[in-house]
Amino acid sequence: MPTAASAEPSPEPDTLGEAIQVEDLHKSFGSLEVLKGVSLNARKGDVVAIIGGSGSGKSTMLRCINFLETPTSGKITIDGEQIEMNADGSPANRRQIERIRTRLAMVFQQFNLWTHRTLLENVIEVPVHVLKVSRAEAIAQARVLLDRVGLGDKADTFPAYLSGGQQQRAAIARALAVDPNVMLFDEPTSALDPELVGEVLTVIRDLAAEGRTMLLVTHEMKFAREVANHVVYLFEGRIEEQGPPAEVFGNPQSARLKQFLSSVA
């Protein structure tokens, strides 16, 4: 088992600021409590992999961070700015949450590209209309990004004509177009055919290598071990175990994590 190598991409912890702080996050759907007090810190440059069985709350946690799901209670701080919440957990300041969301680009399991727009239009949509970048500048940048994910020749194609892997790479280009401080990946390869997973992971791996801060909910254990510098294992809405990948994967402490790792291996 390799041990020390996996921790390498981690930047020096104390020299960089906190990117995301989640404190005592609770989320219930009706009477079902999905998150039972989760706390998580990610510094700038961290790649945090969130693993766990289905129903463990890992996607819900990610979606609470940008308030796609309204937390029931807890505290979320992005780049040192705490998100103002009402008593019921909903964001208290719409402008604040919208501003913060532009810095937290999300990549979805189902890609969620806008189907009535071409890839280029998808990528420039948020820069032009939300961030008010000039159209020409946004287009130039979008072409660079599409080239980077290997879709430069598909700029004028509509998403429905592309494979899942291509759509997901386009979705990553769309996320990069806002120059996000943190990228949230919600099971980015779970909806893909097995032979298409690799091309998407390659793109994400490159982003991790260039020091992007990422939260990555994934079922790809090998990949998590390779790119993450911190792994969080969720079980039934609580963090059961966390630590550097070498520890979590190489020397799991909790019986549940051992069982989980043996079931997905």
Partner 1 sequence: MELILETLGLAESAQLLSLSPPGWGANLLRGLVNSLKIAFGAFGFGLLIGLFGAYGKLYGGPVLRDLLAIYTTVIRAVPELVLILILYYVGTDLINKASSALGYGRIEISGVVAGIWVLGIVQGAYSIEVLRGAIQAVPPGQIEAARAFGMPPIMTMWRVTIPAMMSFATPGLANLWLIATKDTALLAIVGFSELTLETRQAASSTRAYFTFFLAAGALYLIVTLCSGVVFAWIEKWARRGQPSLREDRT
CA distance 138 to 146: 12
Chain contacts with partner 1 (rule: CB under 8 A): 66, 68, 94, 97-102, 104-106, 108, 110-118, 125-126, 129-130, 158-161, 178
Angle of helix 119-129 relative to helix 164-176, nearest 10 degrees, comes to 20
Instruction: Between 161 and 253, name the residue whose CB sits nearer to partner 1.
Output: 161
Instruction: Between 42 and 246, name the residue whose CB sits nearer to partner 1.
Output: 42
CB 7 within 8 A of CB 244: yes
CA distance 152 to 147: 4
Instruction: Between 108 and 223, name the residue whose CB sits nearer to partner 1.
Output: 108
Candidates 236, 263, 238, 241; CA nearest to 254 is: 241
Least distance from C-beta 94 to partner 1, angstroms?
A: 7
CB 237 within 8 A of CB 249: no
Instruction: Between 144 and 191, name the residue whose CB sits nearer to partner 1.
Output: 191
Eight-class DSSP state of 19: E
Say whether 201 sits in a helix, a strand or coil: helix
CA dihedral sign of residues 148, 182, 110, 195: positive
Candidates 198, 207, 201, 211; CA nearest to 175 is: 207
Instruction: Between 8 and 132, name the residue whose CB sits nearer to partner 1.
Output: 132
Least distance from C-beta 204 to partner 1, angstroms?
A: 17
Instruction: Between 126 and 231, name the residue whose CB sits nearer to partner 1.
Output: 126
Instruction: Between 7 and 191, name the residue whose CB sits nearer to partner 1.
Output: 191
CB 62 within 8 A of CB 186: yes
Encoding tokens for residue 14? 């104390």
Least distance from C-beta 256 to partner 1, angstroms?
A: 31
The strands making up 81-82's β-sheet, listed across from edge to edge, are: 32-43, 18-29, 73-78, 81-82
